[in-house]
Structure 1
Amino acid sequence: MLAPENMYVFDYPRGYKIWYEPFGSFYAMEQKMEYYLDNGVKGMYYCGVPSNFRDLFNFVQSAMHWRRNVDIEALIDRFMPAYYGKAAPFIRQYFDAMHKEVVDRNVHQMCEGNCPGIMTAEFAEKARSLFTQAEGAVADEPAQLYRVRNEKFCVVFADLNERNPVNGKLAISQAEFAKRLAEFMTLGRFLSRRTIGRRDDGIVSDWLFKICRIRTRTKPWFVDPLCRRMIAAPEATFAAERKLFCQTPIAGGLRIELDGFVGCRGPEQYSHDCPARRAVWIYGNNTRTPEMHAVFDLEKPLEPGAQLVLTGQDDDKPGVVEIEISINGKRLFSGPSDCAEKDWSSREFPVKPGLCKPGKNTLSIRTLKPSPQRDAGWFMLSECTLVFGRKR
């Protein structure tokens, strides 16, 4: 059916929630344009344009609005060297590779939600290599270097956003993650990126806390002293900042904060048939969240009599969830959680001398059996404390 005469279409070519996830709409919008033209649509109005390859999008779409049957690839080839200079071959390779990812893996993106999926760990490494070469090619050309880094920012952001210590999908070392986080801060400052999305979704300090449990406290975020420290010494600064949110000294011990747990669901408020508490939780070993981990630091070895105290609850279904607790890869406990159902209860687990060490330690809790259904087989944790034992 043909459109009525003088009909215009309002369309959405970008992601509006999170602005700097690579958004592979370039060829899709070209195809939609041809479809609209074939069906008698007289004009288009776009609600913004993509953040990645914004000016290329404007250039090609303007040509398509002006006349039909333009050679899209010829327009891209004309634009790239004029805009990116000597970096053009590397940027074109990235552009082609990004859209190949969309087609080959059937990546579906939408305008009003999060749009992950393009930046796999493998593609991130390829993209980073191309941008390193692109930056080197225009190191002495400020305008072109700015344009290259404008595209690189999307890659660096998406890489951190999709794989980080909190979501448990980290594909690189903590030290390398810290370096890439420092690179994000360097680029953000260079480009003056004050926000990364719409309204509250764009607050960079909140995003940093979401992916790695650190926070900036000034506006704009990239002038915060934390950014200067991260750029100067990524690994040491990252470790020190995370410690601020991951553990708290208490009388006779320390509390391992819920914000320090990664790989799990939460922290969130939970109140179904029980007193409301903030909690983190894991599901069965056949799910995406079967274990959680937290890092804590000790100044000295633990004395005899030390205990790990967990306050939590078992799932609200028949039967008891079995869990395993380990510290530094050594089993502390394995068996039924024996926590209350539809309420909170505490259990104490003796920690033998030598299990913990001065410096960095890792606490892990995992389920031992599958979840029989989506809302079953979970173990929930609302508080975790380490009691040191004899007076230190």
Structure 2
Amino acid sequence: MNQEHPFRKGRGAQINVPNRFFAHSQETLDDFLNYCALEGDDPDDNKTQFLEVFPKTIVNKVDSPDVGMGYSMNVYQGCEHGCIYCYARNSHEYWGYSAGLDFERRILVKKNAPQLLEEKLKSKNWTAHPIVMSGNTDCYQPAERQFQITRQCLEIFLKYKHPVGIITKNALVLRDLDLLKTLAKENLVGVNVSITSTNERTRLLLEPRTATIHKRLEAVRILSENGIPVNVMLAPIIPGINSHEILPLAKAAADAGALSIAHTVVRLNGAIGEIFTDWIQKAMPDRADKVLNQIKACHGGSLNDSQWGQRMRGEGEFAQMIKSQMNLAKKKFFAGRSFPVLNTNLHAPCKDGQLRLF
């Protein structure tokens, strides 16, 4: 480890990279760092800031055929979980921030999300279609403990009997078990829990501020026992880091009660390639070259592939091995199980906000 630039514990990204939309960028020179050291000043306190923003809409149409959702909503932009591989990092540049450390330290909070969602669901032009919370950033990230925006939105979905999907890697989802159970009784909710490793050391490096693997599997178990359908996302699979864990992860998910599993192969799009490369050279220097080369082998010699239909699955020998292991895992551990299609038939009579019985 480079002592001049020590590894930042509790963060995924170790650097801020230039914003591609800015004509100019800035960097901190060693002269300034040396001056701060002499003066006893900290040039970077590494604290998280919560900044309120005021969007005009909250539901987004998803055009990509790769992600399995038609509509999504994100009540937070940026994510304190700090997952080093997160594809959503690039979206922070649209807000004027870096995809690196800024993404996990500058969290944009949409406090008006519940009101915007209610307006959308009451619209005469809206026809019920599952809306996925966390299409971009985790709706149960640490900020949710303070702001409780996700819970308020679930109350709106319940009020209007509208189907909702959830993607998270935080056991905080269990806080809202009361709402989820009520929604599940009418097949209005499905939860996707992301689990990327069975090894806590690996989890801490990849996803420093997420719930532990034990807590996530416990969340899968409790949700399943309460009749809430759960799909486990083994995502992303990173060759040389967690690709050897597919079968153990699948078995753990099945034993916890998950109805299905899915996967993606890591792709380091946009600024993430530089961020991930810097991170792995600091976090796993002994295997950095091996991992980067195997990722490239999954994407035609590049760290990223933007082709729809292929970018999430990869190509080549390593990608095929991952696919084969996933197919085996599904046959071995998930035979006879299936994730339900959510109910879209109850919403129309509830547009006025009244839960009609007849």
Q: TM-score range by the shorter chain?
A: under 0.3
Instruction: Name which one, 1 or 2, has greater alpha-carbon Rg.
Output: 1
Q: TM-score w.r.t. structure 1 length? A: 0.23
* Structure with greater proportional strand content: 1
* Larger RCO (alpha carbons 8 Å, 6+ apart): 2
TM-score, normalised on structure 2? 0.25
